[in-house]
Structure 1
Amino acid sequence: MAYDAFLLVSFGGPEGQEDVLPFLENVTRGRGIPAERLEAVAGHYRHFGGVSPINAQNRALLEALRPHLDLPIYWGNRNWHPFLEDAVRQMRDDGVRHALAFVTSPFGSNSSCRQYQDDIARAREAVGPDAPVIDKIRHFHDHPLYVESHAAAVRAALETLPSRLSARLVFTAHSIPTAMNDASGPGGVGRYRAQLLETAALVAAAAAPELDWDLVWQSRSGPPQVPWLEPDVNDHLEALSAAGVREVVVSPIGFISDHLEVIWDLDNEARDTAAKLGLVFARAATPGTDPRFVTMIRQLVDERVLAHSNVRHALGTVPTWDFCPADCCVSPKRV
């Protein structure tokens, strides 16, 4: 299929103290989040000077990609500058007709996939009838190079422990409401959790097949009466300590870069929990600009551009597809 541009689509983040609340208001618009909850989350950003690392990490990823792609590169965010609508407008003005979008989430759910597709549709509608057609690249949770970039980081983290043979691997991802997970596949098959379990198993097998591992969750933000995926990473660390575990490697396989939810929820909160419990704690890196991850993106582009070749880089059995079915990752009813 012919494409004439590459579009990076991401969440976005504030880049100064004055950006924090407007950014959070964009993130939570229409969800009825109390002001005190926004202030609590704002404190996480203010701890780092009001700057989320995610925009700088996206800029670094784009620079790493430029030598590997033969397409003009654009970048648009859901919640902060550069906004997706502005990127689509620039693409139209530059004469782009058919772009391929890489979304910075490997997994399928309403918040990590369907909402981005809806964002793209709204941006195209706002730009008008001359807006380029934009196709989203498939999920890549089981791509060999995604798995290996995380596995290499786990191996490096294990090397920092006094005795790696007694360590436990703890894989984390962003928790979502259980209803959203249940709706994260055609016919409601719970694809989000299934994909993450597959990624965790593949990374563990590649990094340290002799060690036990668990998949847990972080960054919950919903009201207490709404069930979310559990256990929380901090609760799980307490359970491991009570069971006699003394060393842990925490690997954020649900994330492609060390943005704020990684460095706050893991490097601050989970690390503090481990210290209180007397656990030796090592946090594995995310892919970021790892050359394997950059090569993976190029391979995903090649898969779509050279669709006739039938080359598909995948290690798992949880299905992915180039064009999502209409009943995939639908929005669950609010409780």
Structure 2
Amino acid sequence: MPNSQEARVTEWSKPHPSSRLVVQAGACVPAATPEAQTGDHWVEVPTEFDAIMLSSYGGPNGQDDVLPFLRNVTLGRNIPDERLEEVAVHYREAGGVSPINEQNLALKAAIEDELKRRNIDLPVYFGNRNWDPYFTEAISNAHEENQVEGRPTKIFALVTSAYSAYSSDRQYREDFADALEALDLWDDVQIDVSRHFFDHPGFVNPFIEGTRGAIAELVKENADLDLTKDVEVLFSAHSIPIKDNALSGDPDEHDYGEVGAYKAQHLALGGLVMDAVKEAFGTDVPWKLVYQSESGPAHIPWLEPDINDYLEEISSTRKAVVVVPATFLSDHMEVWWDLDIEAKETADEQGLGYKRVSTPGVHPEFVAAMVDLVQERLNGTPASERKALTKYGPGYDVRRAGSSQGSGPLRAATGGLLP
């Protein structure tokens, strides 16, 4: 194994896209455990795993990492370094270090503690799509350290993304396939992927707690606030291309209509939070789904309104806003830069009071929810008994064919039916 950070980055890197689709004989799902190979929507029989892989986006660990990291993020899009430097400034301001790395390590430790509390004896590995430690390293280590003679190593990929969309679902599953091909482990490792969990109470309740607390703070600071007209709650989602939203979700999962799965799921979360707000304060508080972090070329339309544009729009009718970072699991770079700096600055310029709700992070309920996802599969929990608060849940264990596809051609992906 490589010894230094420099050596690790050299040996372990983001692999090239997989050139093939591989399934076991008689199976429907590439590189899946036997229990998932049937292609059923939910795996409702107990499944034995050898390891858990906490799977995240990744982020640079220093100034020298920033551009290589952004090249990984935009691999295949031929974006010049000059354009990448426009985004790099966000990381440069933080010393080139993304907070996501430390936050994921804290989540990993909390998950390990919760597993021990439940007497679940499984090692947890940590891997990223776009930076060290890469999926290739995590999968290789999990395989080498947990081999069972006569059968493949079984890994449960716990993905740190709650929603349906290409970048939050299928792209992870494609990268798992890329890693298996790069390691030549198609026949030696099986990877099942966690379901979507945007409406799991352990994900929703921390947002409810934070939103109620933020509104209470506003009322304490200004007793004359009329919650029915002076305050608006903004659920800030990571914007994605409109076309990707239309293609998000599983084709036979639900009838999302023209809304699209990604947007519909965020609206559902917002509805849950605001129902709880009404229960706490006895009145309806206005709310809106807005977007942040758009990062594509100008000719490709993305979901709108942008949070900064909307703050300017409502500045004449509202006195304060509460911002809920609805897409995000932790307070990483996009939360810090886009909400705590840019959106806060816009609100200040417009004379709006501003409160930002914390992400779930290592909130005990959220950590418990992540282990719930593991335990569902270990126990084969029937879908009807899994925790989900909306008509859209619980998400599928095995994605449908063409699930959460992006604008490009479909390619190899684990955790779902072909293609």
TM-score class, shorter = over 0.9
CA root-mean-square deviation? 1.6
Question: 1:121-160 deviations in whole A, cap 9, x for unaligned?
Answer: 1112222235421111100010011110111111222233
Match of 2:10 in 1: none
Q: Are positions 1:195 and 2:270 aligned together?
A: no
Match of 2:310 in 1: 236
Q: CA deviation at 1:333?
A: 4.5
Where structure 1 has 5 or more consecutive residues not aligned to the other structure, the ranges are none
* Residues 274 and 84 of structure 1: CA distance in aligned 2, closer, same or farther (over 3 Å): same
The DSSP-based 3-state class of the residue aligned with 2:390 is coil
Answer whether contact 2:51 2:146 (CA < 8 A) is retained. no
Question: Which stretch has the larger CA shift, 162-171 or 26-35?
Answer: 162-171
Q: CA deviation at 1:309?
A: 4.6
Match of 1:332 in 2: 407
| In structure 2, C-alpha distance between the alignment counterparts of 1:52 and 1:332, rounded to whole Å | 28
| In structure 1, C-alpha distance between the alignment counterparts of 2:303 and 2:348, rounded to whole Å | 25
Q: Are positions 1:262 and 2:305 aligned together?
A: no
* Residues 88 and 238 of structure 1: CA distance in aligned 2, closer, same or farther (over 3 Å): same
Match of 1:223 in 2: 297
Q: Are positions 1:170 and 2:241 aligned together?
A: no
Answer whether contact 1:185 1:327 (CA < 8 A) is retained. no
Match of 1:148 in 2: 205
TM-score (norm 1): 0.95
Counterpart of 1:314 in structure 2: which amino acid?
Answer: A
Match of 1:185 in 2: 249
Moved segments of 4+, more than 3 Å: 186-189
Match of 1:280 in 2: 353
| In structure 2, C-alpha distance between the alignment counterparts of 1:6 and 1:214, rounded to whole Å | 36
Question: Which stretch has the larger CA shift, 1-10 or 303-312?
Answer: 303-312
Question: 1:87-143 deviations in whole A, cap 9, x for unaligned?
Answer: 101111112511111111100111110000011111122222354211111000100
The DSSP-based 3-state class of the residue aligned with 2:298 is coil
Question: 1:32-63 deviations in whole A, cap 9, x for unaligned?
Answer: 22433211111100101111000000000011
Match of 1:292 in 2: 365
The DSSP-based 3-state class of the residue aligned with 1:160 is helix
Counterpart of 1:170 in structure 2: which amino acid?
Answer: L
Match of 1:40 in 2: 86
| In structure 1, C-alpha distance between the alignment counterparts of 2:162 and 2:263, rounded to whole Å | 12
Counterpart of 1:198 in structure 2: which amino acid?
Answer: A
Counterpart of 2:269 in structure 1: which amino acid?
Answer: T
Which of 56, 67, 76 is the aligned partner of 1:30?
76
Match of 2:16 in 1: none
Q: How many residue pairs align between the two structures?
A: 333
Question: 1:274-315 deviations in whole A, cap 9, x for unaligned?
Answer: 000000001000000000100111111111111145521000
TM-score (norm 2): 0.77
Highest relative contact order (Cα 8 Å, sep 6+), 1 or 2? 2
Where structure 2 has 5 or more consecutive residues not aligned to the other structure, the ranges are 1-46, 148-152, 410-419
Which of 272, 277, 282 is the aligned partner of 1:207?
277
* Residues 46 and 308 of structure 1: CA distance in aligned 2, closer, same or farther (over 3 Å): closer
Match of 1:108 in 2: 164
Counterpart of 2:154 in structure 1: which amino acid?
Answer: H
Which of 165, 178, 185 is the aligned partner of 1:122?
178
| In structure 1, C-alpha distance between the alignment counterparts of 2:190 and 2:212, rounded to whole Å | 41
| In structure 1, C-alpha distance between the alignment counterparts of 2:406 and 2:208, rounded to whole Å | 32
Counterpart of 2:324 in structure 1: which amino acid?
Answer: S
Match of 1:11 in 2: 57
Larger Rg: 2
Answer whether contact 1:124 1:131 (CA < 8 A) is retained. no
| In structure 2, C-alpha distance between the alignment counterparts of 1:16 and 1:272, rounded to whole Å | 26
Match of 1:68 in 2: 114
Answer whether contact 1:252 1:284 (CA < 8 A) is retained. yes
Counterpart of 1:78 in structure 2: which amino acid?
Answer: R
Q: CA deviation at 1:208?
A: 4.2
Question: Which stretch has the larger CA shift, 261-270 or 65-74?
Answer: 65-74
Q: CA deviation at 1:200?
A: 1.1
Q: CA deviation at 1:67?
A: 1.6
| In structure 1, C-alpha distance between the alignment counterparts of 2:407 and 2:312, rounded to whole Å | 31
Match of 2:139 in 1: 88
Match of 2:376 in 1: 303
Answer whether contact 1:183 1:329 (CA < 8 A) is retained. yes
Counterpart of 1:48 in structure 2: which amino acid?
Answer: A
Question: Which stretch has the larger CA shift, 11-20 or 197-206?
Answer: 197-206
| In structure 2, C-alpha distance between the alignment counterparts of 1:307 and 1:194, rounded to whole Å | 28
| In structure 1, C-alpha distance between the alignment counterparts of 2:238 and 2:278, rounded to whole Å | 23
* Residues 272 and 208 of structure 1: CA distance in aligned 2, closer, same or farther (over 3 Å): farther
Counterpart of 1:192 in structure 2: which amino acid?
Answer: Y
Which is richer in helix?
1
